[in-house]
Structure 1
Amino acid sequence: MIKNRFRIALLCSTVSVYGLGDHAEARKSSPAASHTAPASSPGNGHKAPVHQRQRDLEAHSDESVRVTASNFGGGVSNTTPGGGLMPVQTAPRSQSGITRDFIAKMSPTSNVQALISNLPGVVTASQDPIGVTGDQLTIRGMNQMQIGYVFEGVPIADPIRYAPYTSTVVDTENLGSVTVSQGSPDITAPLYNAVGGQITMSEVNPSHKMGGYLSLTGGTHSTNKEFLRFETGDIGNTGIRGFLSYSHSSWNNWRGMGGGVRHHTDEKFIKEWGEGNSVSALFSYNWMESNSYRRPSLAAWSQYGRSYNYPGTYTVGTAGYYDLNKGRNNAMTIAAPAHFTLRHDLHLNVTPYYMHMFGPSVWGQNVSSANSYFGTGPAGNLNLSNLTASGDATTQAVDPWNQKTSGINAALEWTKGSNTLTFGYWYSYTQHEELATFSPVDTSGNPVAAYGHDPIRVADGSILTPYDLNFKQQSNTLYLVDTLKLLHDRLSLTAGFKTTMLSRQGTNLVPGADPYKNAKNYFAPMPQFYASYKLSDHDQVYINGTTAFRAPGSVQVYSQIFDPSSPVAVQQPGNLKPEYSIGEEIGYRHHGFYNFAVSAFNYNLTNHQVTSYGYVAGTNNLIAQPMNVGGQTIRGVQAELGLGNWHHFSPYFSGQYLHATTDNNFNAGSDYLPTKGKKAVQTPKFSGSIGLRYDDGHIFGNFSMVYVDSQYTTFMNDEAMHSYITSNMTLGYRMEKIGALKHPTLQLNLINLADNNYLSSPSSATGNAKATKGIYGNTVAGSSPIYIVGGGFAAMVSVSTGF
């Protein structure tokens, strides 16, 4: 603790001293801006807009060099090294990315987590081969709840649980680039959870020419996707252009019964004028319903393998019946990023946004007709029918969670000589409501009423519910960034300071809830310092010292969770403290025909929060279970190598060595488990990938292979999941113009080529799997984690064309 305080004080002192530096010559970048140079619009076969602002790539900017020419279909230009996996980076921190050169050749059903699985430090946990239900990931051993997700300047993850819903925000066909900042977030980004880094997604920009793009996909597991985008082109002399797109997808679960349907629409319009002035209007809406996958323990996996699924037929009492366990994810995102040149040396960047996400989540659960509880008291006779021998009735539990978030991130940038000063303010407000209900099902397993209608009530007419939550949150963030360039811009020094003030309060109206109301306030100072030096036009070295903070995740941290089977809460609110990270990096990169980057890193986390997902005992209700495991130390080295085009070939390699340990003993309730010095959970020692791309303009193909080492899943290191290897392949042919069709393309994607049978990630983490004696002599009972089953083989065929 003393060492960490000293490191924070040292960083703050560095920032303070740095702020006294002299101002010198002008710099043209805009560090607070969240957008990058406009990407080309896939499928139109013409060059991108000439009007693009040239922007520097600084430590406080998540920007990377992006391809702006579209010489082939789907936005492919074949100019990004490593087959689209290694765009040139100049930020003085570890940063990797992908462009349309790679994205366009992946399955159109892929999600963002799957697309970045080849990048160093990124470990993606697939749960279905086609990517429609979303995946989980870790970066340098920190899970997706500790990663910040930003789309066109908007924080898209759930602001309370931090779960990313990347597939609800943008269609893959409209995704221009993804940048991964391993370990440290952009100081100007609207985030308060990114202790593990940041993932920044950019949408393609509308074309200046009227046209469109059509893609049709079909494959295994009865998968299909239809996508259509219409480009308005420049609308008269208004300076406005835009696109509208719609897609429909449907599929069957790759294991077990069930499937899903998805409808999605994206819209983007841009107005540009003068020198560097622009306003964009973005809109997306997503509706998806799908059946859930059952997650096994290690013992269940060993016994049943992939056949461990929800039952496909219903009999009275079968709460696990597949059609009772599903979810519906609705999401709407509206944003208007704006950039104004107030004077030649003064720029204003403003991004207002609004997001609305709602369910319901649905699961099957048996409820006793005569012996249930409503909060802490008896529920009385519920007068249910279709009872089992034990007096239970099968019900469908419905949780129609409803969350609305609005916010604005604004930054003013002033340039004086070589010095650029940026001052910003971010405000956001979130309201979250959750009232779970139970509805009886008939003898065929069908709910007797639609979602949430005619729920089971107790004698006084109140709705029987395990939780009735109302949660509100306000965040206020201020940041100040100063960048100084010296030695003819070869030396760049950036210092910044960010402070977040977060206010949360939640109520639970279930009778007997204690506390009925819970409120927390958090304050976190976050200094950062970056330095980089250009050894040549192609070589760069950098160092940095960063801090980040993460407020406790999940509404379960603030409210009790009840269940009709128990008169006491089945989950108590945690007294979690904010997680705080202090990190240092040193790195080198070279770009040219061959591109190479390597970095070494060290992080110390206090109040490290591990958010796992587990089932409420005796139910199919999968909820977040946050735990404070104390301190954690993370050290390692990552590297990547990519070549430019060589006889139409472009290879790519990446790898990471990771050493992460737990710094404290784990509080198991009845005792402390001796976990100090143990390997941290979900931290594979080695991970890496190889890739090879071929594209001669007509025939193209990709091959990639990913290796992930074994991972511990308990803090005592008494249970682990095996290492695994997966590989994917793409084969395709791209034609020239045929009439009005531009670059018609036929593409085959093969996913998990060898159909490897594996567990891709722990879904939950526990203190110990086997009974263990604590440090005070008490025996702590073991509890096995549950796991995500890795997706099997899938084949997708796509036909696409611009017009």
Structure 2
Amino acid sequence: MKCRIGVRKTIRSRRRGDRRGHIGAVAAALLLTSALTGVAAAAPVPTERPAAKTQERPHAAERVAARHARPLPSVVAPEVENMTVSARRRAHGTMITLGSADIQRAVAGTNPLKVLGAQPGIMFQSADPQGVDTWSSQIYMHGFMQNQISTTLDDVPLGELVYRNYNGLNPIEAISSENVGRLDVSTGAGAESVASTNNLGGSIEYVSSDPKTKAGGQVNQTFGSNSMFHTFARVDSGALNDTGTRFYVSYSRNDMHKWKGGGNDFTQQVNAKLVQPVGADSSVSAYFDWSDLHEYLYQDYSLDILHNGGYFVDNYYNGRYSGYANAYNAALGNYPSSLDRISDKADAAYYDGASNINDYFGYLKGDFALTDRLRWKTTAYGHGQDSILTWSNPFYPSPNGAPMFEQVKQPSIQRFGILSALHYDIARNHIETGVWYENNRFVSSMFGYEQPLPGQGSPINSVGGFANLTPFMQLYGQTINTNTFTTYAQDTWNVLPNLALHFGFKSLLNVSRAGNAYYNTGYYGNDASVGGVGLTTFRAFLPHISGDWHFLKHHELYFDIAENVHAYPQAQFKTAASPFAVTQSAYDMARPGLKPESDWAYAVGYRYSDRLMDATIHAYRVNFFNRLQMISSGAIINPQTIIANVGGITMNGVDAGLTLRPLRGLSFTNSVSYNHATYDQNMESGGVVYHTRGVQVVAYPRVMYKTALSYRWRDLEAHVDAAYTTRRNLSYVGDAKVPAYWIANFGMNYRLTNLVASTAGGRFLKGLELGFNIYNLSNARYVSTMGENGFSLSGDYQSFLVGAPRQYFGSIKAEF
């Protein structure tokens, strides 16, 4: 009883302090509102998802939940893992929380989505071992492709998770992996409060780490196979004054040669974050990101190339003139003997392909406790991106007579937005409402640059600047302007201390219009780019209902039901399943059947968790309507593409997982995922009926099995994991498949903190850690990414990549 009284006194005392800080919070809120008004112009006041930060005081919603819901048990022993599955006390189905410790256990600079891929029902693929090659990185969740999964950073939308993003940026370009505090992932139906137009199958919410309250720094250095070199340095200011003002600035650099062919993948990035506390429970924060990426790409594969050319076929570029000479001869029809058995030698290798992407991204956020029960959060953000994406084209000559030219896409993005949300707690209810507005201008264009004749100059440097080069022709050009407005309302009702119900809905209005477009008939033939047309996606009521019941100690049941819609996507010409990315004639043919993709998603699950074990089973069903797909044929450098409404897809699946912790520090996890996702109708193209009804969807396996064993003893931790993926369809009718495969990885970390503390270095070193990792232990040869160039209705197609062979990495991390 004394303990209870003490707790109540503490709460009352803090509330009195909170009230004293409310006047300052309200004043700061008014000042921020004035600043944001200038950014948002006359835009409606929009929405943001409330995401608790790792180092912030719990929000009012969480305090109410703590009063009315029994705390959930930890599902993984903290000395082994901190990847947890929880209902987050919002009764929002299964949420996977991926902590920074899990991310840092991987090779430094690894894409956090690659770490997430170890979870049941999630598949991550990439042609490089770190998962940072933007052309090849790809994630699926429960049968949903990455462009059907929403992504945000600190509630700010990052747009569609695709290579040629039209309304955002790849998360690895938005934040260095070392600065990621955690990932909150919904593998179910997503959440209505997430700022997104594409969350058909879930959401991935990045939360950046906050600046530390004590001054310090961190330096990471990693070396590895293929001259891999990763550096990360961060400086934290600590609290600069009595109000707690603090910031950090970091710089990262990642450079790695391709594991086959010539060229390297290089990225450098600057992150900065400032937090200014206001009163006892409010804050103003700002975030800035600059990313500079230059990557040589891996060449796409077909089954023909894989079986008849081998695992190491790649483009001709090798950093020397001999690479250009070989590509020049190939463009004239003189191919190297290594391609003799391949039927399509011309497309098996080009001179080169590269990505150059430069991003500026940032936000200003106010988070204010206006009263004990009312909280207001508003964020204004901006993002600009310029890209140069290149491929050598051996099918069309340069004006000087060289048999090829450099085909260069030069898209750009400019977007600005604002989110605003109110959170109110009353009785056993946590009520939220908010809005989101964004304007996005997407410019898509492609140009042709001349390559030299032999002995008359150096070939174009695809990862260098094009500012001093003049194109000899434009191939196409298109500008699309999009305005997006969403609003939502939701209520989480704690009916009983162990039972919570969630009700909510979202409204969405997305209007895109393509202006006048340019189309080079001399190159493409008689037709036109899509221009002077617009498409609108509108849904007034997208409901979401879920529940969470802790019916016995350690036992939990939950369900989740939601309707979602995907606004019409945009893309560069002939690159993705977008109505804007085809010729005018193809658009006119598809227009009568075009409808936004939508779905109803249902999930139910059971979870058991205690000190020795975790067990979970998650079942789901999705009814998918109006799925848009890009049907491709011909050479990948200039394919024939159409966008088709392939009708409905019915998906049923289940994940089952078991983690055992029989000894302190030892954890053994096994999971199996089954997905039965099939097309509801046959497809027709060119008067031919393709029998796709009942066929498993492309690129996603029917069965995945994953296992992991980890052990920590004092300052040493070691882990090994393995995964099995069954065959995947490369064509819609399923007559072309890529083979199944096993892949395993190993890692270990040793903390020297205690040893350093006993020496003179302990005066300034807070921590020192050594790491060693092996990727692809068994040196397996396997198919990774699929569908980067679309899929064929039937037969083989050059649209997948192979994974990296065995790789070794060593690292050292020091904290000051």
TM over 0.5: yes
> 201, 210, 223: which one pairs with 2:206?
201
After TM superposition, list the pairs within 5 Å mapping 1:783-798 onto structure 2: 784-798=797-811
CA contact (8 A) 2:363 2:381 kept: yes
Q: Does 1:521 align with 2:536?
A: yes
SS of the residue corresponding to residue 479 of structure 1 reads strand
* Matched residue, 1:291: 296
SS of the residue corresponding to residue 173 of structure 1 reads helix
CA contact (8 A) 1:144 1:163 kept: no
SS of the residue corresponding to residue 310 of structure 1 reads coil
CA contact (8 A) 1:123 1:708 kept: no
Letter in 2 for 1:360: I
**For residues 156 and 83 of structure 2, what CA distance do their matches in structure 1 show?**
24
* Matched residue, 2:487: 478
SS of the residue corresponding to residue 301 of structure 1 reads helix
Q: Does 1:540 align with 2:546?
A: no
Task: Give the direction of change, closer, same or farther, for the CA distance of 1:67–1:751 in structure 2 (3 Å limit).
Answer: farther
* Matched residue, 2:689: 672
Q: Does 1:749 align with 2:773?
A: yes
Q: Does 1:257 align with 2:262?
A: yes
1:57, distance to aligned residue in structure 2 (A): 10
Deviations 1:107-134, CA, capped at 9 Å, x for gaps: 0121122111110110111211132314
**For residues 64 and 547 of structure 2, what CA distance do their matches in structure 1 show?**
10
Q: Calculate the aligned-residue CA RMSD, in Å.
A: 3.0
Q: Does 1:414 align with 2:442?
A: no
After TM superposition, list the pairs within 5 Å mapping 1:62-81 onto structure 2: 80=78
**For residues 64 and 407 of structure 2, what CA distance do their matches in structure 1 show?**
49
Task: Give the direction of change, closer, same or farther, for the CA distance of 1:364–1:290 in structure 2 (3 Å limit).
Answer: same
* Matched residue, 2:514: 506
**For residues 72 and 240 of structure 2, what CA distance do their matches in structure 1 show?**
26
1:322, distance to aligned residue in structure 2 (A): 6.3
CA contact (8 A) 2:253 2:267 kept: yes
* Matched residue, 2:700: 683
**For residues 582 and 654 of structure 1, what CA distance do their matches in structure 2 show?**
26
CA contact (8 A) 1:78 1:101 kept: no
Unaligned runs of 5+ in 1: 1-30, 40-48, 60-64, 69-76, 370-381, 388-392, 458-463, 563-567, 771-782
Deviations 1:337-374, CA, capped at 9 Å, x for gaps: 332111222111222221222211011124656xxxxx
Letter in 2 for 1:395: F
Letter in 1 for 2:358: N
After TM superposition, list the pairs within 5 Å mapping 1:209-358 onto structure 2: 209-312=214-317, 313-315=323-325, 316=328, 324-358=352-386
**For residues 162 and 760 of structure 1, what CA distance do their matches in structure 2 show?**
26
Report the more deviating stretch, 441-450 or 178-187: 441-450
Task: Give the direction of change, closer, same or farther, for the CA distance of 1:751–1:105 in structure 2 (3 Å limit).
Answer: same
**For residues 518 and 311 of structure 2, what CA distance do their matches in structure 1 show?**
40
SS of the residue corresponding to residue 187 of structure 1 reads coil
Q: Does 1:762 align with 2:770?
A: no
* Matched residue, 2:68: none
**For residues 234 and 640 of structure 2, what CA distance do their matches in structure 1 show?**
37
1:394, distance to aligned residue in structure 2 (A): 2.0
1:98, distance to aligned residue in structure 2 (A): 1.9
SS of the residue corresponding to residue 492 of structure 2 reads strand
SS of the residue corresponding to residue 56 of structure 1 reads helix
CA contact (8 A) 2:646 2:683 kept: yes
1:81, distance to aligned residue in structure 2 (A): 7.7
**For residues 693 and 54 of structure 1, what CA distance do their matches in structure 2 show?**
37
> 580, 598, 601: which one pairs with 1:580?
598
1:78, distance to aligned residue in structure 2 (A): 9.1
> 147, 150, 156: which one pairs with 2:149?
147
CA contact (8 A) 2:103 2:112 kept: no
1:55, distance to aligned residue in structure 2 (A): 5.0
Task: Give the direction of change, closer, same or farther, for the CA distance of 1:105–1:597 in structure 2 (3 Å limit).
Answer: same
1:514, distance to aligned residue in structure 2 (A): 5.6
Q: Does 1:600 align with 2:619?
A: yes
SS of the residue corresponding to residue 131 of structure 2 reads coil
Deviations 1:285-340, CA, capped at 9 Å, x for gaps: 11010111101111111111222211131133656876642110112220233321
CA contact (8 A) 1:682 1:711 kept: yes
Deviations 1:247-292, CA, capped at 9 Å, x for gaps: 1121110111111221111111112233431222111111010111
Task: Give the direction of change, closer, same or farther, for the CA distance of 1:621–1:726 in structure 2 (3 Å limit).
Answer: farther
**Identity of aligned pairs, percent?**
21
> 397, 409, 412: which one pairs with 1:399?
409
After TM superposition, list the pairs within 5 Å mapping 1:448-463 onto structure 2: 450-451=465-466, 453-457=468-472
**For residues 173 and 512 of structure 2, what CA distance do their matches in structure 1 show?**
26
1:637, distance to aligned residue in structure 2 (A): 0.9
**For residues 416 and 224 of structure 1, what CA distance do their matches in structure 2 show?**
53
SS of the residue corresponding to residue 404 of structure 2 reads strand
1:93, distance to aligned residue in structure 2 (A): 1.0
SS of the residue corresponding to residue 306 of structure 2 reads helix
SS of the residue corresponding to residue 673 of structure 2 reads strand
Letter in 1 for 2:82: G
Task: Give the direction of change, closer, same or farther, for the CA distance of 1:58–1:125 in structure 2 (3 Å limit).
Answer: farther
SS of the residue corresponding to residue 466 of structure 1 reads strand
**For residues 288 and 600 of structure 1, what CA distance do their matches in structure 2 show?**
40
> 728, 736, 739: which one pairs with 1:711?
728
1:528, distance to aligned residue in structure 2 (A): 0.9
* Matched residue, 1:85: 83
Task: Give the direction of change, closer, same or farther, for the CA distance of 1:54–1:484 in structure 2 (3 Å limit).
Answer: closer
Letter in 2 for 1:518: V
1:650, distance to aligned residue in structure 2 (A): 2.3
**For residues 677 and 507 of structure 2, what CA distance do their matches in structure 1 show?**
28
1:102, distance to aligned residue in structure 2 (A): 1.6
Task: Give the direction of change, closer, same or farther, for the CA distance of 1:445–1:723 in structure 2 (3 Å limit).
Answer: farther
**For residues 611 and 154 of structure 1, what CA distance do their matches in structure 2 show?**
29
**For residues 619 and 717 of structure 1, what CA distance do their matches in structure 2 show?**
20
**For residues 474 and 455 of structure 1, what CA distance do their matches in structure 2 show?**
34
SS of the residue corresponding to residue 184 of structure 1 reads coil
Q: Does 1:659 align with 2:676?
A: yes
1:58, distance to aligned residue in structure 2 (A): 11
**For residues 513 and 246 of structure 1, what CA distance do their matches in structure 2 show?**
45
1:755, distance to aligned residue in structure 2 (A): 1.2
* Matched residue, 1:429: 439
Letter in 2 for 1:332: Y
Letter in 2 for 1:554: Q
Letter in 2 for 1:513: A
**For residues 714 and 200 of structure 1, what CA distance do their matches in structure 2 show?**
32
**For residues 138 and 125 of structure 1, what CA distance do their matches in structure 2 show?**
9
* Matched residue, 2:102: 102
1:54, distance to aligned residue in structure 2 (A): 6.9
* Matched residue, 2:132: 132
* Matched residue, 1:5: none
> 619, 642, 646: which one pairs with 2:663?
646
CA contact (8 A) 1:265 1:286 kept: yes
* Matched residue, 2:62: 56
**For residues 570 and 547 of structure 1, what CA distance do their matches in structure 2 show?**
30
1:749, distance to aligned residue in structure 2 (A): 1.1
**For residues 58 and 768 of structure 1, what CA distance do their matches in structure 2 show?**
53
* Matched residue, 2:343: none
Report the more deviating stretch, 128-137 or 541-550: 128-137
CA contact (8 A) 1:82 1:642 kept: no
Q: Does 1:591 align with 2:600?
A: no
CA contact (8 A) 2:387 2:410 kept: yes
Task: Give the direction of change, closer, same or farther, for the CA distance of 1:88–1:450 in structure 2 (3 Å limit).
Answer: closer
Unaligned runs of 5+ in 2: 1-46, 66-70, 318-322, 332-346, 521-526
Deviations 1:536-573, CA, capped at 9 Å, x for gaps: 453221122111111232334344657xxxxx989988
Letter in 1 for 2:488: Y
* Matched residue, 2:119: 119
1:82, distance to aligned residue in structure 2 (A): 6.0
Q: TM-score, with normalisation over the residues of structure 2?
A: 0.81
**For residues 32 and 559 of structure 1, what CA distance do their matches in structure 2 show?**
29
Task: Give the direction of change, closer, same or farther, for the CA distance of 1:105–1:293 in structure 2 (3 Å limit).
Answer: same
1:153, distance to aligned residue in structure 2 (A): 0.5
Letter in 1 for 2:368: F
